[in-house]
Each structure stands twice: as C-alpha cells, then as structure tokens.
Structure 1
Amino acid sequence: MKSQSLLRPVGVLLLLLVPTLALPINATVVCLPTTWVDILIFFGTNYFAHAATIPSIPGVPWYDNVTWTFIILLLPFSGLGKSFNLIIRHLRSEDSDLQKAVGRGAVAVVTRSRQWEPSVNPEEVYVKLPGNFYESKGGSFARIEIQPGLWQGHFITTAINHNRMKIHGRFKLPERMGYEIAIPTPTALPEYFPVRSTDNRAITLTRSNSHVKMLLSIAQLVYSTITIYRTRGNQLDRYGYAAFGLSVFPYTFMSLVNFICIGLVGEYTHLNLLRTAIMREAEGRGGSFDGAIGSIEGGGRSSDGGIEKVEGGGGPSDGSIEKVEGVGGPSDSSVEKVEAGGGPSDATIEIVEGGGGKGAPVDRFGKLSTGERWTDFTRTELSMEDAGPSGRILVVKVGETTRKFRYFPPTAPTAKPSNDIAPPAYDIFCVSPYSNQNSIPPGGYSIPGRLRTGGWVADMFLTIFPLALILPYVVNFALSGFHERGSTLAERAWLMAWLSSGQLVLIFFMILFSAIPHFAPSSVHPVVFAFFLVIVTIFAIPAVGGFVMVGKMLFEFGTCSLAP
C-alpha cells in the first residue's frame, strides 16, 4: 500500500512532464531589453512559485508558515530536510490514521509543567522515590521535580503556546495547576500511549492532499525545467557556469520533492489532542477537553494478548521487538527480546522484569534502550495539606506506608541566599511530565535507542546527500562544462556561494528536524529561536547576493523567448 500511494503522485507527474519535455523545441531564441515586469515574472515563476508549494506546519499560526516560506525562498535546500523527514516518517510508520498523524506532527498531548504540584485531594501518581524514603522521618523537607523530557539528546515532548495554535475541539486547562500542551516525539509516544490498541487503530482522521499546491508544483517544475533548457546557447556562452538560468535547479528539485510530499503525506490544518493519562489527571482537577481523540485504555489488547511485534525499517537499521506477555502493572513479569539485524552491528537485547537498574534494558553499547526506566516509578498516593503559616505538607502514601514532608515549592530558591543561611536539605520526588505509569501499556511498545532515529536518519543521508550535494553540480557541468566564459568574479562567487550555502544549511536543518521533528519558529524556546535566527541570517546573505546577481544579469542579457 505504501508503494502504491508513493507511485500515484509520481505517476501523475510523469504523465504531465514527459510529454512536455518530448516536445520539439526550436533552439533559436530572440532577446529583448529586460523590464521590471520581466524580472518579476522570472522571479515569480522560478523562485516564488516554489515557496508556495512547501508543506505547511499543522496547527501553527499564519506567521509561522510565512516565516518558513520566506526561509525556503532564500534557501531552497533548507526545506529538503523537512520534506524528506516527513516522507520517510510517513513510509516507516504503520497504516493507522493516528500513527500517520503522529509522524506528521499533527497530534498534541497534555503534560505537566515545572510548576506542577500535587492536589489537596489524594491522587494516584507514579513517582521515583528518593533512596531513603522508608527511613525518612517526619518534618524533613521535600520537593517535586518534573523530569526533563529529554532522552539521550532526543526530545520526548516539546511544549507549545496553545493560545497561538489551532487545536481541534474545545479545551480548558486547569488554571495555575501546572499543565501545558506539548507535541510528542513520534518514536517516544508508543511507550506511554497504546497506539496499537484496537480502538486507537480504528480512529479516522482527515488530512488534505492540497491539489492547489500539487498543481503549483507541477507548473513550477515544468516552467523551471524550460528555464534551465533555455540556458543553453547565448546565456552559457556569456556567463558560463554562473549563468542565471542554472540558479533555478535547486528550486526545480525542491518542487519535485514537495509534490511527492504533499501527495503522499498530506497536510493537517489543526492539531488533535490525544487522551492520555495526564489529560485524565487534568480533567480531575477541573480541566475539560472536548474533541480529544484516542483512549489510554485502548479498548483491550491485541488478539495475542500482549505488546505487538515492532518491525524496524529496511536497511542496516532493521529491528524487531518481540511481543511482551502480561504487561500492565508493577507485579507483572515479562521478558522482551529485541533483535537488531542487518549488518555488523547486530545486537540482541533482553529485558527482564525487575526493579531499579536490573530491570533496565541495556544494549551492548551500555546505553539505555528505552526512553524511561519505567520500573523505577512507584505507584503512590500524593496529596497536600495546609500547615498554616509554616507552609504546606506533602503527603506520600506507598501501600500501607505514609510519610509527611514539609513541602519545598518548585519556585523556591535552591542557591544559597544572600544572608549566608544555606537552604534546608530536601528529598526529591521525581515525576514524569508526560506519563503516569510504571510499565509500557498494552498496545504500546518501546523502540531501542539506536532504532529510534538511526534508521530514518540513515535513509535521509543515503538519499538526500547524493542528490542534493552532487546533482546540482552534475547538471551545471553537463550544460556549462564549468567554463567561466565572460562571467565576472563577483557573479561566479555569489552564485556558487548561494548554492553551497544552501547545501550546508541542509545539514543544519537535518539535525534540527531530527531533534525537533515538529519545529515551528513561534513554538520553541526563545533561546532556540534566537540561535535559529542567527544561523538562517548568516546563510541568507549569499542568497540575497545571488538574487541581486540574477537581477543584474537579467538586465544585461535581456529577456529571451523562442523564435516563432
């Protein structure tokens, strides 16, 4: 099915493109003085039209898409990492609508923020207890710490400003209780949400294959191909490998990639909220979430009664996780066998149920192979009591054991105050921001660390780099032979700097989208955005210089058309 859906848009493109390229073209051209209208037409059809074909980011405000469009207009290869990322994630994900939407970044979850605190009413919360919990005495200090959503440099969730986003349905977060909306990382979500359960696989979500963008991609692809073809002759004789018509090729290549991406992956206008355990907790505190999708219970297990087999993608990063029987609680016993095959890096990982470090899966490189060591979390009942002027009391109940601590709020200073009185020592109770469990739920699964990103990153490197880094120079050499002809040093320098800077920024965006697949300028931390802006500005300088050189050469050369 995946191959058929991929061939459909490519087949339509070939049906339209091959007859066009097969037409007899008269090599005789007529050149007239260039006007500003001619320059606008050239720039619009060869550059600006490409920018209108890029896949949009689900749910973001209009100015995010405008910002992204402007960046890709200057640096066309910057969108290559994004589009290939979407295509590969789509092909490697399973066939359910929910998992396709997760891979596209069109799903959001409710998470605990750093300001989260226990309720005054007892709640079931899975916590990493301090080592001295059972020996601790009453009256000592304690605080709640939200574990960072980061695993071996990989973001588990990324918080967003939900007031700016378009989210399906109507929702209300509990006020001032430490909850926020975040985008989950596709490879980490199955560890805490049963994406493979019967109910969740049956979810139907709508997506759009924008026919307008697909038609624009075809039109831009055909027009820019003709522009490159018409570079032959007087233009190459005058400017050599700096001919302005050759600058169109990166945009032609990206229009083809965008056409495949939109036709295959599609677009989502809104984010869909996923009904997770943390959302259920937020509802218990007065939150409401109309229109949320999915079920944390999942409607039962799969037919074999366990976690279904996880197949890795093709190539050297192939992997499979055999099913786990009887996962569902702290007392469950389970053995999980992970096989990673396809090359010299073959490894077998066995996960045996147990507490603490012994139950944590470790591969032969000594790295944890799951995003969390779930057995480290203990089922507790947390609540808060008012202690009057002296503060609040944190009540932690584990089975029949109850301990009370003087609560140290998350906003309290941890550094030594100015009066040289050191803050009190305190115990730390760690809570997950995105899950409330101590085992992977039935219908969920875990992907070992090397298989989380290794497979699709390898796919991207094997497909993108040979095409993006070599093909532009192959086309240039085939047409110009890399002869300078009458071009100036400035023309050659700016045009080549424009091309090479676009290829270099491709590496930056590949790294960016591997860490934050759902990256949108307004949804990231200001420091990340500032760094992103600096990088884009630096790489945009050659692009601006390239545009200026193209306009200059157009005025000098004139506007050419085929002779009647």
Structure 2
Amino acid sequence: NYTIALPIGSSDHGQPGLLCTPTKPLDILTFFLLNYVAHAATVLTRPGERVDDYLVNVIGSLLFPSLGLYRGIEAILCGAIFVRSDDLRKAAKSGALCVVVRGADWRPRNGDLPSNVILKRGQSYEDKHFYEDEVPQQRQGHYRYKEEPVHLVTYSPPYMFNKFGCPVFVHRRIIHGTYILPEGYRFAIVPHDIQFQKAEDPSTSIKPTIEISTTYNIVKALIALAQSAYALTTLYRARGDQINQFGYAAFGLTVAPYAVMSIVNLIGNLCQPEYPSLYMVESSTMDEARRRGGFFKGDV
C-alpha cells in the first residue's frame, strides 16, 4: 500500500474514483479567462463597424453569450466563402456594400424627373359656381369641373429589399471614400443576392479589375478554436456532485452557451471575411443626389 499526501481540503464527495483538490487562484483566473474572456475575443465584426460599437457588442456577448448568435448565423449563411474571383459579389454577400437611397424626408423639386415613383391622381368632382355678372334673381348656377392635385408616392427599388422585405439603412458605420449626402437621402446596405452590371470602356476590350480590401481574421478563428476546445473539456470534466448541489447553476455548466457560441463564431470567421469599411456602389439614385448637390468619391 502507498500513502499519498493530499492538500488540505481534498475530497471525493462520496464518489469512489473521484478526487477534488482545493481550487487555487490561478485555476479560477484560468477558468474565467479561457471560458469567458476568450469568447469575447471571437465576436464577429460587421463591415465598417466602429470601435466603440464593437466594444459594446463584446461586453454584451461576454454577459449574454447568445447576443452574437445572429451575427454568427448570418456570416455562415451569407455564402461569401463560395464566391471566387469576384470581390464585388463577395463584398455584397458579406454586407460590405452600400448604396444611396431616398429617405423618409425626401421631397420632389421643380424640374425633377424622378424614377421609382407612383403618380396617384385624386378624384375629380364638379363644383357649383355662380358668375359675378349674373343678376341675383336669375342666378341658376353653373358647374365647374375640378381636379385634386396629383400625389407622388415614392418606393424603394426591388433590388433594395433584403430577406426581411425592407432596406437596411446604414447607421454609425465607416464608409470608404469622400461623400456629401444631401438632405433627403441615406445610405442602405446592398442585399446579398443583388446582381451588378460592371461599367466597361467602349474604347477598349480590356475588362476593368475591381479589388476590395478584405482579410480573413485567422487569429480570431484560432482563439475561437482554442476556447471551444477548453470549454468542451470543462463540460466533460463537470463530474461529481456539483450538479446535484447547484443544479443548472453549476459552474461546469455555465460554459455551455459560450462553447456553442465560440463554435458558431469559429465557423462564421472562416465563412465570411472582414472589411474595414463599407464601400459605395454607383446607382441612379446616387446620380439624382449629385444633381441636388451631393458629392461622392471613392465608390466602386
């Protein structure tokens, strides 16, 4: 027989073959860093997202791990990884392109020839009218034909509708280039399934090359892989009577949502590249905004 000296406080919690030693401060620090803090480093970044907005999302994902679930699923299902040799389509799949659209405060101006509008004519009616030169006793009245003003109703072009049936307007994003957006216009994210018509120079047969700056964050993917492995190991080692004592609040089970989200973020980082900013795309509405004093430089 051999006698092994164990630290004070060691216990098997009444289960043969189980040995629990007292927890050290380093063990607690490692548990929190590798299970919780490491997960915050795997949160996906939206194209053109500002640093302060990203930090808010990181803190939210640290407190509520399922907060970034939509970003991860969106990155996995966008299909950007399957696009080859076409940076424009890959950027559209990743939600990195924006276009000028009309806002709710847009109003027509004299001389405009607006597109994507519906002319709604009011109902006509007859109004009884008396002429001033008639003798009061002989006034019989005459009917005058009147028309209501024509109402101009704008609508978003069909190519701007996303899968939820409405445009996604740009808010607090970094947009590449220089622009002056006139009153009544806004930026909106280009839908994932949009089709493009590339501008070609008729004087030459050489097709233009469009390259958009992007990168795959391999470091973030490796952190997600390591965090997922450590969290799954923690779940596997959640033995003993901690579940009987604490139920679903057992510390070994608290890492489960973080492990799932890190796996989702890992796949999302591999499926969708990161873009430092949004990129403007030419459109007829952008030309309309230019005629109203808008200025756009750096569009693709």
- Note whether the superposition's TM-score is higher than 0.5: yes
| Structure 1 position 50, deviation (Å) | 0.7
Q: Letter of the aligned partner of 1:183 in structure 2?
A: I
SS in 2 for 1:43: helix
- Identity across aligned pairs (percent)? 32
Aligned-partner Cα distance in 1 for 2:178–2:244: 63
Aligned to 1:215: 222
TM-score normalised by structure 2 residue count? 0.71
**Residue 157 (1) aligns with residue 164 (2):** no
User: What is the aligned counterpart of 1:267 among 258, 271, 274?
Assistant: 274
| Structure 1 position 266, deviation (Å) | 1.5
Over residues 23-56 of structure 1, what are the superposed CA-to-partner deviations in whole Å (9 max), with x where a residue is unaligned? xxxx875522454x65443222101211210111
Q: Is residue 119–residue 152 contact of structure 2 (8 Å, CA) maintained in 1? A: no
CA-atom RMSD in angstroms? 3.6
| Structure 1 position 105, deviation (Å) | 1.7
- Structure 1 gaps of 5+ residues are 1-26, 294-564
User: What is the aligned counterpart of 1:58 among 47, 68, 75?
Assistant: 47
Matches within 5 A, 1:541-552: none
Q: Is residue 231–residue 245 contact of structure 1 (8 Å, CA) maintained in 2? A: yes
Over residues 139-168 of structure 1, what are the superposed CA-to-partner deviations in whole Å (9 max), with x where a residue is unaligned? 85344433368979934323334xx32111
Aligned to 2:119: 129
| Structure 1 position 103, deviation (Å) | 2.4
Aligned-partner Cα distance in 1 for 2:59–2:286: 36
SS in 2 for 1:181: strand
- Structure 2 gaps of 5+ residues are 1-16, 126-144, 201-206
Q: Letter of the aligned partner of 1:179 in structure 2?
A: Y
Q: Is residue 214–residue 275 contact of structure 2 (8 Å, CA) maintained in 1? A: yes
**Residue 119 (1) aligns with residue 109 (2):** yes
| Structure 1 position 209, deviation (Å) | 1.0
Over residues 324-349 of structure 1, what are the superposed CA-to-partner deviations in whole Å (9 max), with x where a residue is unaligned? xxxxxxxxxxxxxxxxxxxxxxxxxx
| Structure 1 position 263, deviation (Å) | 1.8
Aligned-partner Cα distance in 2 for 1:201–1:254: 41
**Residue 86 (1) aligns with residue 75 (2):** yes
Q: Letter of the aligned partner of 1:290 in structure 2?
A: K
In structure 2, relative to structure 1, the CA distance for the partners of 1:128 and 1:28 (3 Å cut) is: same
Aligned residues, how many? 256
In structure 2, relative to structure 1, the CA distance for the partners of 1:272 and 1:148 (3 Å cut) is: closer
Q: Is residue 113–residue 146 contact of structure 1 (8 Å, CA) maintained in 2? A: no
SS in 2 for 1:129: strand
Q: Is residue 167–residue 272 contact of structure 1 (8 Å, CA) maintained in 2? A: yes
Aligned-partner Cα distance in 1 for 2:116–2:247: 67
**Residue 179 (1) aligns with residue 182 (2):** no
Q: Letter of the aligned partner of 1:166 in structure 2?
A: I
Q: Letter of the aligned partner of 2:170 in structure 1?
A: I
Aligned to 2:149: 141
Q: Is residue 217–residue 256 contact of structure 1 (8 Å, CA) maintained in 2? A: yes
User: What is the aligned counterpart of 2:178 among 166, 170, 177?
Assistant: 170
In structure 2, relative to structure 1, the CA distance for the partners of 1:153 and 1:236 (3 Å cut) is: closer
Aligned-partner Cα distance in 2 for 1:184–1:240: 47
Q: Going by fraction, where is helix more abundant, 1 or 2?
A: 1
In structure 2, relative to structure 1, the CA distance for the partners of 1:121 and 1:250 (3 Å cut) is: same
In structure 2, relative to structure 1, the CA distance for the partners of 1:151 and 1:30 (3 Å cut) is: closer
Q: Is residue 98–residue 280 contact of structure 2 (8 Å, CA) maintained in 1? A: yes
**Residue 255 (1) aligns with residue 262 (2):** yes
Aligned-partner Cα distance in 2 for 1:168–1:268: 10
Aligned-partner Cα distance in 1 for 2:90–2:242: 46
Q: Letter of the aligned partner of 2:21 in structure 1?
A: C
SS in 1 for 2:65: coil
Matches within 5 A, 1:468-487: none
Q: Decide which structure has the larger Cα Rg and report it.
A: 2
